[in-house]
Amino acid sequence: MFTRKITIEKNSLLIAYKLLHDLLLLMLVSFAGFLVIEGLLPGLLTSKISFSKIVIGIIIILASIVYLGKNFNITYQQAKIHTSKMLSGLVLFSFLLIGNSMLKFNFWENLVITLATLLILFLFYELIFSSKNK
C-alpha cells in the first residue's frame, strides 16, 4: 500500500511536470502575442493586464519545472541554439518588434542604432559560442 502510494505520488508529480511544460508553452506564446499587440497599440493590453505578473508567472513555472526536474533527476541535452530551427524565427520576431519601436526615428538614427545593435549581438555571439567551440 505504501509502495502504491509512492507510485501514485510519483506519477502525480510527473503529470504536474508535464502539465507545467504545457502551461509554459501557452504562457510564452501568449506573451509573444501580447508583445506584438502592445507594439501595434501601446496601452491596449497593459491597461487590462499587468505584464510584470505574466513574467513573474513564467518565472515561477520555470522554477517549478527545474525543482521537479531535479527531484526526478531529469536532465536535458544542452541545446545547440545556433543550429536550432527556432533561432531564425526568434531573430525575425525580435527584429519586427524592435523595428516597430524604431519607426519614430529618422533613417540615419535607425541606421546607427541597427549597426550598433548588430555589432553588440555579434560580440555576444562570439563571446558565448566561440569559447564553447574551442
Cell of 76: 536535458
**Cell 508567472, located at residue:** 57
Of 36-44, 51-59, 90-98, 122-130, the segment contacting other proteins by CB under 8 A is 36-44
Q: How far apart are CA 119 and CA 107, in angstroms?
A: 18
25 neighbors 73 (Cβ within 8 angstroms): no
Q: Distance between CA 70 and CA 7 in Å, rounded? A: 18
Nearer to other proteins, 79 or 127 (CB): 79
Nearer to other proteins, 43 or 127 (CB): 43
Contacting other proteins (CB under 8 A), which of 6, 15, 118, 123? 15
Residues that bind other proteins (CB under 8 A): 11-12, 14-15, 17-19, 21-23, 25-26, 30, 40-45, 48-49, 74, 103-104
